[in-house]
């Protein structure tokens, strides 16, 4: 993934997190041993337990942007694997599997369907996994669509600075009225 796409990926995380009320820790596009970039909310455990669907929306946001840009589904599943794994873990923890075991391929297929159809499919359709991911993807889609200009400004800022602290992020969002 290029630095420009990494910045867009992390900016998508940050915008969704900000709108959902997460506290900001930092954002970076400086590669490390684990990833090409990183957005760190400061209150992860609190956010996951408060509303798991918001945590799933936060993690789905970059994958949604990549699919929307026309990226190949397989590339998105590989590139956003950590984010999607976090979504599935959160789903399994809070919503259970009702004794149903799905292969990774089946789960990935359900997630991609939910992402692709977020703005078209009515609530209540499909499996519980699809419904939860559909609502979260719909939430992420609406936030990113409404704040796409700010997301691209943050992408540009990350390309310029490489990283921002939590207070710098708050200032950035205040200056951009979100």
pLDDT digits (tens, 9 = 90+) for 100-157: 555 555 666 666 666 666 555 555 556 676 777 778 888 888 999 999 999 999 999 9
Structural domains in the chain, CATH included, are 3-175 (1.20.58.760)
**Whole-model pTM over 0.85:** no
Cα separation, 4 vs 85, in Å, equals 23
Pair 155, 136: CB distance under 8 Å: no
Integer Cα distance of 28 and 111 in angstroms: 26
Highest mean pLDDT among 16-30, 47-61, 65-79: 16-30
135/57 Cα distance (integer angstroms): 8
Residue 147 in contact with residue 15, Cβ under 8 Å? yes
């Amino acid at each position: 993934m290029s630095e420009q796409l990494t910045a867009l990926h992390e900016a998508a995380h940050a915008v969704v997190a900000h709108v959902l009320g997460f506290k900001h820790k930092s954002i970076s596009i400086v590669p490390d041993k684990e990833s090409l970039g990183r957005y760190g909310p400061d209150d992860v455990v609190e956010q996951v337990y408060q509303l798991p669907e918001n945590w799933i929306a936060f993690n789905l946001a970059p994958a949604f942007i990549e699919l929307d840009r026309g990226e190949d589904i397989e590339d998105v599943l590989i590139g956003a694997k950590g984010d999607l794994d976090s979504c599935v873990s959160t789903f399994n923890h809070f919503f259970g599997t009702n004794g149903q075991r799905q292969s990774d391929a089946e789960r990935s297929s359900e997630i991609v369907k939910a992402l692709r159809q977020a703005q078209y499919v009515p609530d209540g359709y499909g499996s519980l996994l699809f419904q939860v991911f559909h609502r979260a993807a719909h939430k992420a889609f609406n936030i990113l669509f409404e704040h796409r200009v700010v997301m691209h400004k943050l992408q540009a800022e990350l390309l310029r600075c490489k990283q921002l602290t939590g207070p710098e992020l708050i200032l950035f969002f205040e200056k951009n009225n979100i």
